[in-house]
Structure 1
Amino acid sequence: MLLLALDTATPAVTVALHDGTRVLATGDQVDARRHGELLLPGVDRVLTEAGRRLDELTGVVVGTGPGPYTGLRVGLATGSALGAARAVPVYGLCSLDSLAYAAGLDEPFVVATDARRKEVYWARYADARTRLGEPQVGRPEELPADVLALPAVGEGATRYADAFTRPLPDGPAHASAAALASLAAEKLAAGEELPAPSPLYLRRPDAQVPAGYKVVTPPSPPARGA
């Protein structure tokens, strides 16, 4: 097994290579505006560091969010393109699950990432491997009181520490391709069938066409002889 994992659902551009037993190489750069610029060089670096080639891949695993539309689709499109080019399967795992796995907690907790617009993407977990319910998006102060009382990891939890009463500052802040790859390898080894990489956007893109936008069509040229 040789899995390439990548995630661009959070400000981190994160890439990792896993051989089914351990993480061979990983690279993380935090820059919310340069996902497209940094991702492929990151893939090249982890392959070089591990001394492996792209044609050795047996699969690609991509973080499916939730995350902002522009950043998230960079990872999804790149993962799908690499999988098609090498004729290997492409799997999708929730990006919040990678933070939960990296946190390594064996008690109930919540993962919350920054969704902008003063909102967070969040999900509740029974432990590091067990998510309870689907990811959601909302304003921190409007989350259920029992969720806000749980230990919390992720940039959303530390950014809105006035709402999350038990943020863990030493926990992971952003998605981790190393954790994503380890979780995927663990599931595959157990015989689980991993889902296809379908994005979890949860809301409309931040960029919108202005209201009242008018398309200006140039006038047709005059007919000959007119």
Structure 2
Amino acid sequence: MLVLALDTATTAVTAGVVELTPDAVVPRSVRVVDDPRKHAELLMPGVLGACADAGIALQEIDAVVVGTGPGPFTGLRVGMVTAAALGDALAVPVHGVCTLDAIAADATAPDTASLLVVTDARRREVYWAAYDGSGARVDGPHVESPAALVGRGLSVTAAAGGSAAGLGWPVREPAAPSPRGLVAAAAAAVRSGVDPGPLEPLYLRRPDAQEPGARKKVSAR
């Protein structure tokens, strides 16, 4: 089974083709560009480039996996809307996975007792989630300041993600999700063949833009 993996929840614009077998997750191609301002411009060229690198046509994709955040509102929407449109055009299922879970899938190793995944949430805050040695999420995702996160005194042995440095834990790669990590996080659902249902973004907080309130009444003098 050939799976197209996408993520725009971090500063990285990620696309790749992964071969999912009954017992393995094998990367066929990877396209990653770190540019937080050009998610929309870079994603589809990355998708087409990843397919070309894998030696396949886009129409040969059997499923799509996309990171659903947490991430900034605008960037996150680019990946999810693109994934939904591709799924509709190709008539293939689209599976959403937590972006932090995808990073954990890459960072968890046989010697991992516990792991923290931390990414940039802007506004001097971070998104984070904690995982056990198997890579299963045990807490989060949450959004708060790095100081508040450190103050929790979490019992983890390592940290991964783009904002993991400087928190006091040993840092592991990757900083952003890879196509392999995205598909690994969704592997059980993709293999099951179950309808994944609608995509649900993990914003964790409201967007900066707000609808204007009702106009104040001006009393006549």
Q: TM-score, normalised by structure 1?
A: 0.83
In structure 1, list runs of 5 or more residues that go unmatched. 215-226
Shift of 1:34: 0.4
Which residue number corresponds to residue 9 of structure 1? 9
- Read off the aligned partner of 2:168 and give its amino acid letter: T
> Once the two structures are aligned, what percentage of the paired residues are identical?
46
Distance 1:12 1:207 in 2: 23
- Read off the aligned partner of 2:41 and give its amino acid letter: E
Shift of 1:12: 0.4
Instruction: Report the number of matched residues.
Output: 208
Taking the TM superposition and a 5 Å limit, the aligned residue runs for 1:100-111 are 100-105=104-109, 106-111=112-117
Which one of the candidate residues 170, 178, 183 is aligned to 2:180?
A: 178
Which residue number corresponds to residue 165 of structure 1? 168
Deviations, residues 17-73 of structure 1 (Å, cap 9, x unaligned): 112141111111100000000000000001111111111111111000000000000
Preserved contact between residue 150 and residue 165 of structure 1 (Cα < 8 Å)? no
Residue 181 of structure 1: SS of its match in structure 2? helix
Shift of 1:114: 0.7
Which residue number corresponds to residue 152 of structure 1? 159
Shift of 1:104: 2.3
- Read off the aligned partner of 1:58 and give its amino acid letter: D
- Read off the aligned partner of 1:83 and give its amino acid letter: G
Deviations, residues 173-195 of structure 1 (Å, cap 9, x unaligned): 11222311233235534x38556
Is 2:25 the counterpart of 1:19? no
Distance 1:146 1:57 in 2: 44
Go from structure 1 to structure 2 and tell me whether the alpha carbon gap of 1:195 and 1:174 turns closer, same or farther (over 3 Å shift).
farther
Which one of the candidate residues 30, 43, 49 is aligned to 1:45?
A: 49
Distance 1:33 1:211 in 2: 30
In structure 2, list runs of 5 or more residues that go unmatched. 217-221
Distance 1:41 1:204 in 2: 30
Which one of the candidate residues 116, 124, 127 is aligned to 2:122?
A: 116
Which residue number corresponds to residue 218 of structure 1? none
Distance 1:148 1:33 in 2: 35
Residue 166 of structure 1: SS of its match in structure 2? coil
Q: Radius of gyration: which is bigger?
A: 1
Which residue number corresponds to residue 130 of structure 1? 136
What RMSD, in angstroms, separates the aligned Cα atoms of the two structures?
2.3
- Read off the aligned partner of 1:100 and give its amino acid letter: A
Deviations, residues 102-121 of structure 1 (Å, cap 9, x unaligned): 11233112100010111000
Which residue number corresponds to residue 56 of structure 1? 60
Preserved contact between residue 18 and residue 29 of structure 2 (Cα < 8 Å)? yes
Q: TM-score, normalised by structure 2?
A: 0.85
Preserved contact between residue 93 and residue 197 of structure 1 (Cα < 8 Å)? no
Shift of 1:206: 3.3
